[in-house]
Structure 1
Amino acid sequence: MSVNYLVILFGLLLVGCQPEESQKSGTAQDNKLGQAQKLKPLDYIKAKSIKSLPGYAMDSIDLGILNRMDSTDYVNLYFKQASSDSLLPEFDGNSFFYFFEQSETKEYFLSSIIQDDDNCCVYLYYVTFNKRLNKIIDAKCVAMRGHDGHWGETARGKKYADGRLVVTEISQEQTDYEMHSDLPATGGYRVTKDSIVRQFQILKNGQIVQSVIDSTQTIIDFDTD
């Protein structure tokens, strides 16, 4: 048998094997996709989210370890179902959305998700679901972190056994004197620090009720002349 014939035969064998391997790989991917599609919406959210934490600091949340949503996840699981007053943002292509925490009671399922607007801010939303209908009951933005120029804000939250989430928001903004009518037109700047404590109570029916339980403001003026 000539050398050229052996080379051609070996080449044909390689070509003949490649489609089979490709087909196996494709079948495995299809099976994986099929298994994900078979999950009920809330089971899918559970699989993608972490278990509920006792509390958190917005500055310490590492988005790199969370499961990021694609547009189908966010639109179908959250945005399409939400009522017009839920304030869940649209999927505009500029933001990234992440699955965060999940927990449940006999009455409702709670999913918290995170939006990174890729500009200045990261937002945390609470979303409650009717477990039997797999439908959203309520959704609220409960905390954020961000900075832009001379403004910055962060928050930390603590959870209680009765379903309350207490969030302390801390913000600081620096503005020039000329922006305030009660100050000289030039020659300094003002730093305003705000601390607001909000309580989010999830009722048995899954509604999220928000109230302000404390707030303080500190203003410091700095003369530069």
Structure 2
Amino acid sequence: MTLIRARWPLAAGLVAVATFAFAHGDVAPQAVNTDTLPDVGEEWLTENPYRAMEPEVFEEAIRVGASGYNQNCARCHGLEVISGGLAPDLRFLEAEEYGDEWYAERFQHGMTQNGITKMPAFGEILGQKAAWAIRSYIETRPDDRQVAEAAPKLTEMRDKLAALAEDPSGADVEAVKAELMELNAGFETLSGAPVADSAAAHAARVIDGSPEKFHEAAELISVSLSAAQ
């Protein structure tokens, strides 16, 4: 059974380290607010329930999952889920039941090796809704090579958003959103998920015409560019 999709020559190395992660030490899991997500029951599922729900529910799961991932997982698995090579690169977990089963088991029970906690058990602390929200975020990460290749366009877009944050007068918000979504459409996932949810898509959802949101959108793209370098 192949759980991690081998698409690059590097993938073999990623599979080899898929059972190793940084020790978490004394870092305590941080609670994730999942109030905006529908309940999925108490019994643990073996497949991501949000994947098959309405697009707006899945988008909200990704948003919640991004927060949960950054609070609890990024320290070991990397910003934008881009591993530094010691922790598993979770972007390669297939976005289907096989990958979900592996993920759910590890999320619930963690991992201990030679008496050392490599990954804490998050199941009872964070719960199932948070687990599948984080999974939704992970499986929709874009291919960082494609993000790097699109860096000139993303940088241009970031600078445009930063300029609009300074002076949003006359901004065509819908046109800016469309431009961001066009950029997002050029990215693929590494999990096999049909649609990537890149920083460009996130930025498109954020902007509302206000200077604060244009600034937030520009920062989202800056972080993505840094992670893809």
Task: Name the TM-score, length of structure 1 as normaliser.
Answer: 0.21
Give the greater-gyration-radius structure (CA): 1
Name the structure with the higher strand share.
Answer: 1
Q: More relative contact order in 1 or in 2 (CA 8 Å, sep 6+)?
A: 2
Q: TM-score, normalised by structure 2?
A: 0.21
